[in-house]
A and B are shown apart, each in its own frame.
Chain A
Amino acid sequence: VDPLEQIKITFFQECQELMADLETGLLTLQAGEGDSETINAVFRAVHSVKGGAGAFGLEDLVRFAHVFETTLDEMRTGRLAADDVVVKTMLRAADMLADHVAAAQGNGAADVERSEGLVADLVALTQETPAPLPAPVAVPDFEPATGADEFGFTPMQVSIEAPLEGFDFTPPAAAGWRVRFAPKASMYAKANDVTPLLRELERLGPCAVQLDTDALPAFDAMDAEGAYAAWTVELASDCAREAIAEVFEFVDGDCDLSIEPMAGASAAPEPELDIEAMLALARKPGPAVPEGQVQALIDQIVPAAPVSLEAPPPRVQVAAAVTAAPTTATAAATQSTIRVDLERVDRLIDLVGELVINQAMLAQRVAESGVPRSSHVMVGLDDLEQLTREIQDSVMAIRAQPVKSVFQRMPRLVREIASMTGKEVRLVTEGEGTEVDKTVIERLTDPITHMIRNAIDHGLETPERRLEAGKPAEGVVRLAALHRSGRIVIEVGDDGRGIDRPRVRQIAIDKGLIDADLVLTDEEVDNLLFLPGFSTASTVSDISGRGVGMDVVKRSIQSLGGRISITSVPGKGSTFTMSLPLTLAVLDGMVVSVGDQTLVAPLTSIIETLQPKPADVRTLGPTSRVIAVRDAYVPLLDIGAVLGWRGECPNPSQGVCLLVESEGGGRAALLVDAIQGQRQVVIKSLEANYQQVAGIAAATILGDGRVALILDVDAAVALRNSRPTRDEAPPLALAS
């Protein structure tokens, strides 16, 4: 793979994290809980996106990020208050920035009009006369500054750039200090860095930083570990000389430092010129060096850090390292995670699954061989079992992720829907740290998105209606996650009008979904919402009226082995609760025998098991049979016959029935020969090496090493109508 492409992929991965940080920060500010560190974090996020984008020449992204960053900087320096209006605009800008990132990644195009509108809004916030759009700032000239930031110049950037952007840059007041600071190689050798020093200096007051590259030798004469750059900082502060000296306390002796009071109003030097000069210098190869050699050097550096040529030479080595993990030092300190290819984790999980199976097989074989229970071998095997279980739990924990990654997409959704529907909505999230398997997380987004849409579109009233009802104009949508008895429970609630049951009932009757004279409990009426083809919105809206209703949500949750339920109080709001397994890699199943085969039925779909009495079984029509379960007749299906393993079992009372609830709430009794027990099984895909099989969800491997099939209850019930046996399978058309 092209190394640059690889870096680009990493960049986009980081963009995702940065966008998340950005949004989290802005939301914290909105809640009024932010401090200067929050603003800095927000600024850093946008800045890093811009920096990376600049390196890859993503101009649209850079341009937008730049305006955004400029406004954020106003906030950072305290010239712009982080009030509600400002933060709301910034949240919209963050959404736009995410769109730009997506566009740069090749996922659709960013809405140019919206982007321009937000640029105008952002500029308006700073209350300057509309600054010239940054478009004229040619990106190549722009990159050096960005590149320099990669090495940690973040806080300084503004001062260098401000004059470029036509900002009203106030020159340092008369009373100021000129600090000249030239690090020696020994300073870098002691792992000291210029950035924190400059950052400290900035705390004392506004700084104008100038990089002095006079000592910079030709490229071939450079020592990679040498120190050639010097900085001149004009500090507009009336602080004591000691305060400045204190900043450099730790590098005392490792640098040349001079602190002089500034006389008169010396305007900040034109940094542009210096950068140009430095660029020219850095780009000019030494005369003695053959062209090819320089190119080779450049090639070495460029893939890792396309901008490091422009960087101060002493930092070249560091630069490569920094680019590999271009988050700032602050961010690095808070995270101790590693990025691992998911495939490797999956492979590990597979292997551990095999280990568990193997351990079970071994234990079974040893037990069969008649070794006494108290023998060392058995004791050792018990330990091994304990250990394998622990390994399995730990490995599964690797894949577990907090639901935060899904939850943090929701604020944006809420904002968009709120503005589309003209409703005021506040999203409250709880339990973001609740962990669940990655495979489950990936499939949570759609149902949650849909449920939130519904909550805002159908659940919440308009602000006027809310005020009439004596509620605050702003509606609340609550999204919560929690662990409950080995499952994850996700709740989406609103404080809206609640389900209008008479109307729901009427619609269901109008659409022919239920009979007009059917008596239903409140709960049953609520569940009508899950019927296919049901939609209560009187106007089919752009938001939730796309013909996909709650039935789709219910089905996708069921396909994950989950259940969904509603509670609703008229006038107070509704809550949708879904409960899902923590992982899709293991399943709690009931192991049953059917003929000479062993099957696993998912425990979640089984309501109860019962022993059929001959008197309870009735024949309906020529072949169909039903069984009486507490006065209700439920279809009786012989699983062995449904799957084509044998003919219809003549005597159901010899077997056991599993009463299951299938899709749409219909019940059925599945007849099996015997129940072997409940077990947690590792799910193995049939599709990996074969294909999907009707009536079968997946496979697993039991303790005896044999493959057992996991029943897909819904599909098996649906199969009852068409019941071809194995030998009646349709002949295969031999395509030529």
Chain B
Amino acid sequence: MSETDIQTAVNDARRELVSFRVGEQEYCVDIMSVREIRGWTPATALPQSPSYVVGVINLRGAVLPIIDLNRRLSGVPVQASARNVIIVTHIGHRLVGLLVDAVSDILTVADDLIQPTPDVACDTVKSFVRGVIAMDGRMISLISLDRILPDVEAEAA
């Protein structure tokens, strides 16, 4: 997605974002894509899966895959414990749990405060970060969830 596309896509009004901490960094996603936030429960490991797929858990009868967001975004695995949280999000028609360190805030941000992603030579950043927000001296990256799952990525390619 080019910068102009981002501009047109996010041009209207204000939006609400859920921000959370993963490792040393802060990220946020659109609140509309978040279905619920729940505590960590041990996951059942999936064979033949990328390392950032922690496994699957039971979400009231549905099988929910859990993505270790830190490992996905920075390659460093989270030692999951009861302190971690799972953000259950909609990605397309799927439900996916994101394993994060903590949910920090709900932000209301005007679209013009979302700056284009600085041009860094990092594929991960290019793939996931749609823009950055500067707030109280913190930098929060707005991430796109479309490519979080391995197969969705394959479809996009």
- How far is the CB of B147 from the nearest CB of chain A, in Å? 8
Q: List 6 A-B contacts (CB under 8 A).
A: A690-B53, A690-B63, A690-B149, A707-B63, A709-B44, A709-B46
Q: How far is the CA of A16 from the CA of B46 in the complex (A)?
A: 43
Assess whether A689 is in contact with B58, with CB atoms less than 8 Å apart.
no
New A-B pairs, 19, CB < 8 Å, besides A598-B44, A707-B58, A708-B44:
A350-B61, A354-B61, A644-B47, A645-B47, A684-B62, A688-B63, A689-B62, A690-B94, A690-B96, A691-B150, A694-B47, A694-B48, A696-B46, A699-B56, A707-B44, A709-B47, A729-B49, A732-B150, A734-B124
Q: How far is the CA of A719 from the CA of B47 in the complex (A)?
A: 11
- How far is the CB of A721 from the nearest CB of chain B, in Å? 13
Assess whether B58 is in contact with A732, with CB atoms less than 8 Å apart.
no
Assess whether A701 is in contact with B61, with CB atoms less than 8 Å apart.
yes
Interface digits, B35-64 against A, CB 8 Å rule (1 contact, 0 not)? 000000011111111110101111011111
A597 at the interface (CB under 8 A from B): yes
Q: How far is the CA of A126 from the CA of B96 in the complex (A)?
A: 66
Assess whether B56 is in contact with A734, with CB atoms less than 8 Å apart.
no
- How far is the CB of B150 from the nearest CB of chain A, in Å? 6
Q: How far is the CA of A353 from the CA of B157 in the complex (A)?
A: 37
Instruction: Select one of B47, B56, B151, B157 contacting A695, CB under 8 A.
Output: B47
Q: How far is the CA of A707 from the CA of B60 in the complex (A)?
A: 11
Chain A, Cβ-Cβ closest to B56: A707
Chain B, Cβ-Cβ closest to A727: B51
A685 at the interface (CB under 8 A from B): yes
Assess whether A735 is in contact with B153, with CB atoms less than 8 Å apart.
yes
Of residues 86 through 144 on chain B, the ones whose CB sits less than 8 Å from some CB of chain A are 94-96, 123-124, 126-127
Assess whether A643 is in contact with B94, with CB atoms less than 8 Å apart.
no
Assess whether B57 is in contact with A696, with CB atoms less than 8 Å apart.
no
Assess whether A726 is in contact with B49, with CB atoms less than 8 Å apart.
yes
A705 at the interface (CB under 8 A from B): yes
Instruction: Select one of B45, B61, B153 contacting A353, CB under 8 A.
Output: B61
Q: How far is the CA of A694 from the CA of B94 in the complex (A)?
A: 20
Q: How far is the CA of A733 from the CA of B46 in the complex (A)?
A: 20
A-side contacts of B56, CB under 8 Å = 686, 690, 699, 707
A-side contacts of B55, CB under 8 Å = 707
Assess whether A644 is in contact with B48, with CB atoms less than 8 Å apart.
yes
A369 at the interface (CB under 8 A from B): no
A-B contacts, CB under 8 A, total: 104
- How far is the CB of A687 from the nearest CB of chain B, in Å? 9
A570 at the interface (CB under 8 A from B): no
Instruction: Select one of B47, B95, B150 contacting A726, CB under 8 A.
Output: B47
Q: How far is the CA of A225 from the CA of B130 in the complex (A)?
A: 65
Assess whether B48 is in contact with A684, with CB atoms less than 8 Å apart.
no
Q: How far is the CA of A402 from the CA of B109 in the complex (A)?
A: 57
B-side contacts of A686, CB under 8 Å = 56, 63
Given A693-B47, A729-B48, A734-B124: A701 and B65 interface contact (C-beta under 8 Å): no
Q: How far is the CA of A41 from the CA of B98 in the complex (A)?
A: 60
A203 at the interface (CB under 8 A from B): no
Assess whether B65 is in contact with A597, with CB atoms less than 8 Å apart.
no
Most chain B beta-carbon contacts within 10 A, residue among A597, A688, A690, A736: A690
B-side contacts of A688, CB under 8 Å = 62-63, 94
Q: How far is the CA of A735 from the CA of B53 in the complex (A)?
A: 19
- How far is the CB of B25 from the nearest CB of chain A, in Å? 18
Given A734-B124, A735-B156, A736-B126: A689 and B48 interface contact (C-beta under 8 Å): no
Tell me the interface secondary structure of chain B in the complex. mixed
A533 at the interface (CB under 8 A from B): no
A511 at the interface (CB under 8 A from B): no
A-side contacts of B42, CB under 8 Å = 706
Given A645-B47, A724-B48: A690 and B65 interface contact (C-beta under 8 Å): yes
B-side contacts of A685, CB under 8 Å = 63
Interface size on B, residues (CB 8 A): 34
B-side contacts of A403, CB under 8 Å = none
B-side contacts of A706, CB under 8 Å = 42, 44, 57-58
Measured CB to CB, the residues of A under 8 A from B are 350-351, 353-354, 357, 597-598, 642-645, 684-686, 688-691, 693-696, 699, 701, 705-709, 719, 724, 726-727, 729, 732-736
Chain A, Cβ-Cβ closest to B96: A689
Assess whether A689 is in contact with B63, with CB atoms less than 8 Å apart.
yes
- How far is the CB of B157 from the nearest CB of chain A, in Å? 4
- How far is the CB of A358 from the nearest CB of chain B, in Å? 9
Chain A, Cβ-Cβ closest to B66: A690
B-side contacts of A719, CB under 8 Å = 48
Q: How far is the CA of A693 from the CA of B55 in the complex (A)?
A: 11
- How far is the CB of B153 from the nearest CB of chain A, in Å? 6
B-side contacts of A645, CB under 8 Å = 45, 47
Q: How far is the CA of A643 from the CA of B48 in the complex (A)?
A: 7
8 tightest Cβ-Cβ pairs between the two chains A and B: A354-B61, A643-B47, A735-B157, A690-B65, A734-B123, A691-B151, A707-B44, A694-B48
Q: How far is the CA of A686 from the CA of B57 in the complex (A)?
A: 11
- How far is the CB of A685 from the nearest CB of chain B, in Å? 7
- How far is the CB of A92 from the nearest CB of chain B, in Å? 44
Assess whether B51 is in contact with A693, with CB atoms less than 8 Å apart.
no
Assess whether B127 is in contact with A734, with CB atoms less than 8 Å apart.
yes
Q: How far is the CA of A690 from the CA of B152 in the complex (A)?
A: 9
Assess whether B48 is in contact with A354, with CB atoms less than 8 Å apart.
no
Q: How far is the CA of A733 from the CA of B155 in the complex (A)?
A: 12
B-side contacts of A707, CB under 8 Å = 43-44, 55-58, 63
Q: How far is the CA of A606 from the CA of B151 in the complex (A)?
A: 32
- How far is the CB of B82 from the nearest CB of chain A, in Å? 16
Q: How far is the CA of A729 from the CA of B63 in the complex (A)?
A: 22
Chain A, Cβ-Cβ closest to B65: A690
Q: How far is the CA of A353 from the CA of B149 in the complex (A)?
A: 27
Q: How far is the CA of A693 from the CA of B48 in the complex (A)?
A: 7
Most chain B beta-carbon contacts within 10 A, residue among A353, A357, A686, A735: A735
- How far is the CB of B58 from the nearest CB of chain A, in Å? 5
Most chain A beta-carbon contacts within 10 A, residue among B47, B51, B153: B47
Assess whether B46 is in contact with A354, with CB atoms less than 8 Å apart.
no
Q: How far is the CA of A696 from the CA of B47 in the complex (A)?
A: 8
Assess whether B61 is in contact with A705, with CB atoms less than 8 Å apart.
no
Most chain A beta-carbon contacts within 10 A, residue among B60, B63, B127, B153: B63
Assess whether A729 is in contact with B61, with CB atoms less than 8 Å apart.
no
Q: How far is the CA of A694 from the CA of B55 in the complex (A)?
A: 14
A-side contacts of B43, CB under 8 Å = 707
Q: How far is the CA of A732 from the CA of B51 in the complex (A)?
A: 10
Assess whether B50 is in contact with A729, with CB atoms less than 8 Å apart.
yes
- How far is the CB of A595 from the nearest CB of chain B, in Å? 9
A-side contacts of B123, CB under 8 Å = 734, 736
A-side contacts of B62, CB under 8 Å = 684, 688-689
Assess whether B60 is in contact with A689, with CB atoms less than 8 Å apart.
no
B-side contacts of A353, CB under 8 Å = 61
Interface digits, B1-28 against A, CB 8 Å rule (1 contact, 0 not)? 0000000000000000000000000000
B-side contacts of A644, CB under 8 Å = 47-48
- How far is the CB of B121 from the nearest CB of chain A, in Å? 12
